Structure 1
């Protein structure tokens, strides 16, 4: 009966018996039935950021820990990995907000990039009273699965460095893009989309903080490149369409622009005011990651403070524009269209 039980579990999850035992004894994440959405059912997760290292895709997420009517209770960052976009391994917490000794709380959106043989985590946290407001820290590790430690001992970006922001949380949602020649750019911001070049050491700015003018911009920028064109995807707001965030994008010949607005590619996330994009190519196929509020876990229903990461196939038109993305339960378990 034990043997038939685990064989049945494998069939339901859509994984091989070998993969099932690998997950069971390595602390791997539970997999949604047949690899569908949401991706993970072991924790509430939000703000996905993808990194490809050789044959593995790592997905960095915030850990939503809100209970009851709490909004954003996030104390740590998690990472999951996959080699086939079907089975995922959970590697556990990689860092807490308060591991930045100058931070007091809030493990908000983060991203990890690889440079100089190391892995660099850029993340939004709440600074202590010396520089009140949201700030961006940078941490470093020798491994994509951490642990990560503060690389500076101080914030890379603090609220007083962007006085044109309308509130104290405009310095959030960092994303980093590294050019083929190694030049690294930091892009971030709520209400305003800021950007600045990073020094080769990845821990200091190498020039002034500037802004990218983007229609309907709210937060959550993400940069990727396709066929020599730069794509800046972000959470936007158009109340004529929805009172929740949508996903819009712009394109440019370089990070410094000029940026051309291309429109909306995704509607709002189900049961979540926020949505947060990440686009990456893995083994020759492009994917779009986001979050929604559809997961119920341990008796807690999903919502604004209890989100769940999901993924869809992404397609380009022949002119390079991105086809509209429909949120599905099947996700990438559905066959990719030709």
Structure 2
């Protein structure tokens, strides 16, 4: 596919086909991988993208976007889905947690999301296309009493709009939210495309508290993810060196403070197979660390993987003694075999 079709510009935005019909899914349907349990892709009956893991007790919940692109469509995403596991091999599908129509002020695009627990409630942050009152991409926030929903709009308006980040260069910079709560209980939101932003959240989790700062690392494209291990903060993201790379890779930076300064650490992974985009999600679960990604290797019926038909994968993640992350090789076996210790 020519590179211009991948670029996040007006050409491909004009090609997106919008939809508004939710798909009803049995709440306890089981995903049955074609290979060993835990092999990649981990979800094989739907095209899914932008994985965001959340651990609650002995269960890992995985929030994903639902790719529904037909034939030569670029992106057609209307709803967000959630899966759960207790063993990283058997995944339970729950009912869709939200449709983009549930945000009355949004007009399209159920793009990348992440959920977090705070004060006994679950907050869900997602990228959508705002209606004409605030043109451009925006960050929405919803709330639920349960990790599997149902989620409802927590504000009745966008948490972040394009007008709030005037330093940016384009109207789709306010996408791909990641949310992180530090040891002192303070929660932070980061997001962006081409420019990476970070802001503190108020304790109610639905308002920005203070200034929006830009923390754009080298070759930042989109899909930031914040996590902490020990005393070190990590900013992992989809990167693109436009001089040498055709597809997105995963890079990361580290810092001793959530506000930086951030030290660039280079590549964590290569590109997702057959996919221009890639989206990292990192979590510790039952003493092991995992890196969730997506590629475009899945075929369902006569529909092959494509830029708008992606598939979520997971790999073991390991750290060096100095806290840097060991490079991850993407595989078909995934976590179906124990990690090398």
Give the TM-score of the pair, scaled to structure 1: 0.91
Q: CA deviation at 1:33?
A: 1.6
Question: What corresponds to 1:26 in structure 2?
Answer: 28
Q: CA deviation at 1:298?
A: 2.4
Q: Aligned to 1:282, which of 281, 285, 295?
A: 285
- On the 8 A contact 1:31/1:88 being kept in 2, the answer is no
Matching of residues 1-338 of structure 1 within 5 Å? 26-35=28-37, 36-338=39-341
Q: CA deviation at 1:213?
A: 3.1
> Aligned equivalents of 2:220 and 2:140: distance in 1?
23
> Aligned equivalents of 2:68 and 2:31: distance in 1?
17
Q: CA deviation at 1:322?
A: 0.8
> Which stretches in structure 1 are left out of the alignment for 5+ residues?
1-23
Higher mean alpha-carbon deviation, 269-278 vs 240-249, is at 240-249
Q: After the TM superposition, list the runs of 4 or more consecutive aligned residues in structure 1 that deviate by more than 6 angstroms.
A: none
Q: CA deviation at 1:240?
A: 5.0
Question: What corresponds to 2:6 in structure 1?
Answer: none
> Aligned equivalents of 1:171 and 1:32: distance in 2?
37
- On the 8 A contact 1:314/1:325 being kept in 2, the answer is yes
SS in 1 for 2:36: helix
SS in 2 for 1:80: strand
Greater helix content: 1
> Which stretches in structure 2 are left out of the alignment for 5+ residues?
1-25
SS in 2 for 1:26: coil
> Aligned equivalents of 2:27 and 2:236: distance in 1?
38
RMSD over aligned Cα atoms: 1.2
Q: CA deviation at 1:317?
A: 1.1
Q: C-alpha deviations, 1:259-278, integer Å up to 9, x for none? A: 00000010011111000001
Q: CA deviation at 1:319?
A: 1.4
> Aligned equivalents of 1:301 and 1:204: distance in 2?
41
SS in 1 for 2:94: strand
Q: CA deviation at 1:29?
A: 2.2
- On the 8 A contact 1:242/1:268 being kept in 2, the answer is no
> Aligned equivalents of 2:172 and 2:243: distance in 1?
25
Q: CA deviation at 1:116?
A: 1.3
> Aligned equivalents of 2:161 and 2:154: distance in 1?
16
SS in 2 for 1:98: helix
> Aligned equivalents of 2:108 and 2:151: distance in 1?
17
Q: C-alpha deviations, 1:4-40, integer Å up to 9, x for none? A: xxxxxxxxxxxxxxxxxxxx99312233421200000
- On the 8 A contact 2:27/2:94 being kept in 1, the answer is no
Q: C-alpha deviations, 1:268-295, integer Å up to 9, x for none? A: 1111100000110000000000000000
> Aligned equivalents of 1:163 and 1:105: distance in 2?
22
Q: CA deviation at 1:241?
A: 4.4
> Aligned equivalents of 2:97 and 2:302: distance in 1?
26
> Aligned equivalents of 2:314 and 2:150: distance in 1?
26
Question: What corresponds to 1:3 in structure 2?
Answer: none
